[in-house]
Every structure is written in C-alpha cells, then in structure tokens.
Amino acid sequence: MGVLNLTPDSFSDGGHYAGTDPALARALAMAAEGAAIIDLGGESTRPGAAPVTVEEERSRVLPVLERLRPRTRAILSIDTRKPELMRAAAAAGADLINDVYALRAPGALEAAAESGCAVCLMHMQGEPRTMQRAPQYTDVVSEVRAFLKERVEACRAAGIADERLVLDPGFGFGKTLEHNLTLLRHLEEVRIDGLPILAGLSRKSMIGTITGKLSEERVHGSVAAALMAAQNGARILRVHDVAATVDALKVLQAVTGGPGGPGRQ
C-alpha cells in the first residue's frame, strides 16, 4: 500500500500538491513500482494535528480519486474517519476504507457497511492530538487484540463480512517505542480469525528514534521494519517508499517461498 498524502502539511512527500496532477502522477508511479493499493489521505493524523472539516477533506481527496479511478486498476483506499467521505469515496470508486478510528465515529459503521468497500480497522489509544503524551498499557498485545476483536464484532453485527476486513495494530498511534517494538515482535498474536494484518511503520518516529534520522532519511530503516512485519505475518504494508519495499519483499519471497514465510495463508 503506497501512501498518497493529500494534506497541505504533508510531512514526507515534499509538501502540498499544487493541483491534482502531481498527486495523480505520484499515485501512478507507486502503482508502476508495484503498489497493489494506493491510500489517499486528506486529514493529517500525525500527533498534535488539528481536525479538518468534511468540506476541506472532501476537496483534497475527491478530485484526485475521481481522476485516478479511470487510470489505474490498483485498489484505491481512502484514509478517513468521516462517514460522509466514506460514502462519497465509495460512489467515486474507492475499494477500501482505511479508518484509523476503526469506524467508531457516529454513522461510520453504517456508511462503511453500505459502501460495499473493504475496511481496515486500526487500533489507536486516545486521539491524534494527545495520543503520544503518555501511552499506557498493562499488556499492549492483548489490549490491541481485544480492541480489534470488539471492532470486528461491531462490523459483523453491522453486516460487514469477514472477507471485507483488515486488522491493523496502529504503530505509533498512542504507543511508545517499546509498545511498537512489542507489537512488531508479536504481530501474529494480534490476528483475529485469520483476518489479514496491515502494518504501517513507514518513516514513523519509532524509525527516527532507532536510527536517529529525520523523516526523509528513514527509508532504509522503514524497509527493514516493513520486512520484519512481513516476516511476522503482515499481509499489507503501508509505505511511502514503494520501490525499495517491493525489492525487499521480492528477496523475502525468494527465500521463504511466500509473502511472509511458509505455512501462512
């Protein structure tokens, strides 16, 4: 999954796209580099970020989605927690709703269910503005799993079939470096009923903390983390650096004979 950041405060794609053309070009380049999914995001979820209105988010995302849809067969993912945008994106041809709020916003479960889209359910402790102040867990793995289990059950009750669900431990969302490392080590234990796991580690502050590098210099560390996640059971990797990650996955696949090793689905 390649990240297409459509926010003006874009942290790792070199700033705001002047129009839709550069965004389209970036999306198509990532698809050509081997991204099976393009994740379009118009609301910053970085720690401390302010919320945006639905109109603002819509104006950032929909024009790109509408122009991208007829130009690629890649799976198009919309990174939003707003039901209005889920509906609009589905109507414009989106395939996947990537919700860091795991459909907890009022009306989001219903919007996602009716959209027919697949859904990525992500764990987050707290909310983006404050989540990194003092993350606390007794047992991060079992608490993340329990949260995801509750959200899976909510989706099932809303009529969303398991075939549409993806799970995500939410690296960096209300987690210390130790919490993130523990989750990466025990990624397979987060899985519920064989559902696929998505891991988003790319360029995050945990990579910066480990390597001592700024955001744009975190490519190598991010590729290493992506490979660890794949080995530990992740089926989808959310990354900024598609070409580098695809090469690493090809090496892993050559060695193990499968995306994440033998014996996995």
Which residues are marked as active site? 204, 238
Q: How far is the CB of 31 from ligand 8Y4 (least distance, A)?
A: 18
CB 100 to ligand 8Y4: min, Å: 5
Alpha helices in 69-163 (DSSP H): 83-91, 108-115, 140-157
Q: Which helix (H) or strand (E) holds 195?
A: none
For ligand 8Y4, the closer CB: 11 or 137: 11
- Measured from the CB atom, the residue of 40 and 90 that comes closer to ligand 8Y4 is 40
Instruction: Give 127 or 257: the residue with its C-beta nearer to ligand 8Y4.
Output: 127
CA dihedral 91, 97, 43, 208 (to 10 degrees): -150
Nearest approach, Cβ of residue 117 and ligand 8Y4 (Å): 14
Task: Please tell me the distance from the alpha carbon of residue 242 to that of residue 126, in angstroms, as a whole number.
Answer: 30
Strands 75-79 and 37-41: parallel
Structure-token pair, residue 6: 């459509």
The whole-angstrom separation of Cα 193 and Cα 215 is 35
User: Is the CB of residue 205 less than 8 Å from the CB of residue 243?
Assistant: no
Report the residue closest to ligand 8Y4, judged by CB.
200
Least distance to ligand 8Y4 from the beta carbon of 172, Å? 6
Report which of 221, 261, 260, 237 is spatially closest to residue 30, judged by C-alpha positions: 237
Rounded CA-CA distance 51/65 in Å is 21
Of the two residues 20 and 98, which places its CB atom closer to ligand 8Y4 in the complex?
98
Contacts to ligand 8Y4 by CB under 6 A: 11-12, 41, 45-46, 79, 98, 100, 120, 122, 168, 170-171, 198, 200, 203-205, 215, 238
CB hemisphere CA count around 119 (13 angstroms): 33
CB-wise, 20 or 77, nearer to ligand 8Y4?
77
CB of 72 to ligand 8Y4, least distance (A): 20
